[in-house]
Amino acid sequence: MKLTIDQIPCDLDPSQRIALDYDAQDLADVRSGNKGHALRLRLPATRTNDRIFGFAAEPYTGQRFNAAQHTAVLSDGEAKLLQGSVRLLSAAYDSDPEGYLIEIRSGTSEWARQAAAEMFNTLGISFSGRLTPTMIRQTWTNNTPVKFFPVCRDEYTPELSSVELIPVERFLSVDDYHPFISAATVVQTLFSEAGYTLESDFLNGEFFRSLYLSGAYSSRDTNALRNHMDFLARRTTTAATTANSDGRVYANPYKSINSVGNFVETVNPNDQNDLGETLTDVFSNNHCFTVEDGEIVFRPMTSVTVAFEYHIRYITDHRILDRNRLKGIDSFYLGDGTEVQGALANRYADRRNSTKPAFQYRAIVFNHTEGNSYRLTCTVNGTAGHAIGEFDSRSALVTTPSGSTVTAPVLLCKAAGSTTYTTYTGDWALYDGYIGETGQTEVEMTVRTNPVTVTPTSPKTFSTIYFYGAEPGMKFSLSRQCTLRPDFTGAPGLNTPISFEDVARHRVRKWVVLDALRHLFNLRFYTDEETRTVYVEPADDFYRLGQTFDWSSRIDRSQPILLGDAAQDAERVRIYKYREADGAVTRLNATLEEPFGQWRLVNDSAAAIDRERNLANPFFSPTVSETECYADAPSALVLRVGDRDAPDTTDRNSFTPRIVRYCGMQPLPAGERWGYPSTGDSYPLAAFHRNDPDNGFTLCFEDRDGQQGLHRFYDTQAEQEKLCQHLTLHLRLEPCDIERLFQIQRLAPCIASTFLFRIGGEEIRCTLRRIEGYDPSAASTRCTFTRLPNG
């Protein structure tokens, strides 16, 4: 045996015995690399050792061994058995024997130490930009580690529009998208910034690289600020005006025309609106929000950084522009650089493929040219070419004839100066007859602005607000349902500069996220400090990194061979699940026999421990996705987050962490359009569970809707614990065998290998579970293996 400290050989006591242990359960503990294993040795007081420890046994020595970091290596011949940090525990002075008691701590890793000490948002992931519609849209298709996926806040069903029998047109804002962070990038960065190389087929595979975990914005305690300066302001009236020659309408009390006055009008809970309803929910703490000289003003008691949340609702005249868009007020400027450019979606259904007999329709030719004439024909009872209308304007009402079937409408066009009709090749549509070329649309949107600093001497005013996008003279009315309130959380708003640190403010340390991923996929972690390599795989795959080796000849037959049921270390019932659910999942669970995301494992062996154990994920919650969230794209599957019945729903960005799988851009059915900020025919699909016969998947632990759950990563382990045995025997192991065991390889036995033993005429295949007190001077070492289900 040889011991070196900082590469200097030490003197060992020949009678000193060592005991080296290994426990495979440490592979499933991400914190084991921070704790390590301790070996204590007593070294004699020799001239060599005295110099190494700085004569620590002398009371007045000026040196302190523990003032610096030291590394110890314990070897036998050429085989390195143990390496780690060393500390001096005591030095015996004027005693028999004199000497030094040291502790060598091995199995520790710098990545594990950093993961245990540092907060999650300190990861060195490269991401920065401004929170703008363009940036959000670009993240869906580029290789950025942070993507913004649409989320639907858990709210009660939106009310119908007051001007149409469809839901209010709801513009999506940046608050309707939430940052999600690449799980693969998180893991890769955690190891690489500590100086380690990650080896993992699973973590580098397509499935894991499609996983994203929800980010988090700053969420500080705002109670004190809210108690002193919070307010909620409303309108008392619905104000109407018309757009000016530029298509604009102002919310400015100092403009007499083309203006609706102040955006909101009161914080007095005794005021009534124009329907006679008392506005009991409005308030202004310490009168920080007031009306000064006719203008609404927020004047805080002290300097404060604050954003403002505008709930905007209005009715605008519109004209059908094309099959996708309406022309009307669709954009607005809220001051301080906050500008929202939206688009009014054309949500009217084109009936060309579903015409009915004796029904009135409106034909609209989107790119009509003055002087052109049109003839609309259809197929009646199988006979084509039946004319149902002629017109020379952009739109016209037509009525289909009676008959058993009326199909295949065709628009013919006679160009100005021509005498013949030809099939029209431009774009046109056929709408229900009650739909006019012009009409009204009701719009709502909630926008949170970029935080700004406001002081008592430099208050925030709201008179630069205007709405635009209309044609001159179009009518506009601002609803009494508009509200304005401050947001003191410090979370980013529209156009705020953001970085990874801003979108990853989970109040957890790095190891918690790593442990949550370990829990989902039954991961095993092994660090080879010699090569600075971390091996990470699900349990089944980890034990495929090595080959099968026959160690029958290593058995010390003079020692007993013990077999015991593996079930005696397992609970009778284990429940694998996620952490607490939110509103949508809670309501869903009330309709299910088994909770969403939960797998109940029953071990019916009589040897099992008679108790139930809940194995909840330490970080992630399950997530329900729903359709019908957005009127323009009702088939889109969107993550629903939050809890509409929670006592405090003011912080809309705060919800429990989630993990989802990103499926890329998903095409929408014909007639559906995704809203702000892309207004395209596809949307970014991210889901926790997707019930789809062709492309479905689930991150539930249980099987659901025909999709295999994450229990697949635990099935082999569960079968071992239920049906298999632990095999305990003594093996004759050389120091070189021990050294090679901890070098992941296929050419020699290692901790990731399968071991074969021939006992009693049978072959037993198993994996290494435990080494107990290896001592090179001993004849053999007690080891425990676990049989494989097929072994």
* Residue 576 pLDDT greater than 60, yes or no: yes
Q: Are residues 22 and 61 in the same domain?
A: yes
* Structure tokens belonging to residue 189: 């960065």
582 within a domain of the structure (yes/no):
yes
Where is the domain boundary, 678, 704, 730? Answer: 704
Q: Are residues 671 and 655 in the same domain?
A: yes
Surface-to-core class of residue 134, CB atoms within 10 Å of its CB (0-12 exposed, 13-18 middle, 19+ buried): exposed
The answer to whether residues 230 and 239 touch, using CB atoms and an 8 Å cutoff, is no
CA 616 to chain centre: 18
Surface-to-core class of residue 310, CB atoms within 10 Å of its CB (0-12 exposed, 13-18 middle, 19+ buried): buried
610 within a domain of the structure (yes/no):
no
Give which of 676, 641, 674 is closest to 659, Cα–Cα. Answer: 641
217-233 residue pLDDT tens: 987 778 899 999 999 99
- Residue 648 confidence (pLDDT): 67
Q: Are residues 228 and 368 in the same domain?
A: no
Cβ neighbours around 772 below 10 Å, total:
15
Q: Are residues 57 and 8 in the same domain?
A: yes
Q: Are residues 339 and 464 in the same domain?
A: yes
- Residue 651 confidence (pLDDT): 64
Looking only at the bridges linking them, the beta strands covering 177-182 and 146-153 are antiparallel
Q: Are residues 251 and 332 in the same domain?
A: yes
Task: Give the bridge partners for 318, in sequence order.
Answer: 439
| HEC secondary structure over 347-393 | CCCCCCCCCCCCCEEEEEECCCCCCCEEEEEEEECCEEEEEEEEECC
719-739 residue pLDDT tens: 999 999 999 999 999 999 999
Q: What is the domain count for the chain?
A: 5
Q: Are residues 231 and 333 in the same domain?
A: yes
87-145 residue pLDDT tens: 999 998 777 778 999 999 998 899 999 999 999 999 999 999 999 888 999 999 999 99
- Residue 163 confidence (pLDDT): 66
* Residue 158 pLDDT greater than 60, yes or no: no
Percent of the chain at pLDDT > 90 equals 81
Q: Are residues 27 and 100 in the same domain?
A: yes
- Residue 652 confidence (pLDDT): 66
* Residue 593 pLDDT greater than 70, yes or no: yes
Give which of 609, 676, 697 is closest to 343, Cα–Cα. Answer: 676
Task: Give the bridge partners for 754, in sequence order.
Answer: 548
- Considering only 57-66, 223-232, 576-585, which range has the smallest mean pLDDT? 57-66
* Helix/strand/coil for 329: coil
Q: Which residue has the tokens 């004796």?
A: 358
589 within a domain of the structure (yes/no):
yes
Looking only at the bridges linking them, the beta strands covering 762-774 and 475-478 are unpaired
545 within a domain of the structure (yes/no):
yes
Average pLDDT of the segment spanning 355-379:
96
Q: Which domain holds residue 53?
A: 2-108
349 within a domain of the structure (yes/no):
no
* Structure tokens belonging to residue 17: 């015995």
Strands (E), 566-669: 571-577, 599-602, 609-616, 624-626, 638-641, 659-667
* Residue 406 pLDDT greater than 70, yes or no: yes
The answer to whether residues 199 and 536 touch, using CB atoms and an 8 Å cutoff, is yes
State the Cα angle at 153 between 150 and 157, rounded to 5°.
115
* Structure tokens belonging to residue 429: 């549509």
**Amino acid in the structure at residue 356:** K
Q: Using 50, 70 and 90 to split pLDDT, how confident is the model at 157?
A: low
* Residue 301 pLDDT greater than 70, yes or no: yes
Q: Are residues 390 and 465 in the same domain?
A: no
What whole-number distance in Å separates Cα of residue 375 and Cα of residue 123? 66
* Residue 654 pLDDT greater than 90, yes or no: no
Q: Which of 93-97, 678-682, 704-708 shows the highest mean pLDDT?
A: 704-708
The per-residue pLDDT of the chain, averaged, comes to 93
The answer to whether residues 720 and 761 touch, using CB atoms and an 8 Å cutoff, is no
Q: Which residue has the tokens 């952009």?
A: 394
Residue scoring higher pLDDT (525 or 494): 525
Q: Are residues 336 and 449 in the same domain?
A: yes
Q: Using 50, 70 and 90 to split pLDDT, how confident is the model at 650?
A: low
Where is the domain boundary, 77, 108, 139? Answer: 108
What whole-number distance in Å separates Cα of residue 582 and Cα of residue 642? 6
Rg (CA), the chain: 36
- Angle, to 10 degrees, between the axis of helix 110-117 and the axis of helix 183-192? 120
67 within a domain of the structure (yes/no):
yes
Give which of 766, 768, 769, 202 is closest to 518, Cα–Cα. Answer: 202
Q: Using 50, 70 and 90 to split pLDDT, how confident is the model at 280?
A: very high
Q: Using 50, 70 and 90 to split pLDDT, how confident is the model at 675?
A: confident
Give which of 73, 38, 43 is closest to 56, Cα–Cα. Answer: 43
165 within a domain of the structure (yes/no):
no
Q: Are residues 132 and 156 in the same domain?
A: yes
Q: Are residues 307 and 198 in the same domain?
A: no
Q: Which residues of 737-768 are buried (b: 16+ CB within 10 A; e: fewer)?
A: bbbbbbebeeeebbbbbbbebeeeeeebbbbb
Q: Using 50, 70 and 90 to split pLDDT, how confident is the model at 40?
A: very high
133 within a domain of the structure (yes/no):
yes
Where is the domain boundary, 704, 734, 755? Answer: 704
- Residue 160 confidence (pLDDT): 57
167-211 residue pLDDT tens: 677 788 888 999 999 999 999 999 999 999 999 999 999 999 999
Q: Using 50, 70 and 90 to split pLDDT, how confident is the model at 524?
A: very high
* Residue 162 pLDDT greater than 70, yes or no: no
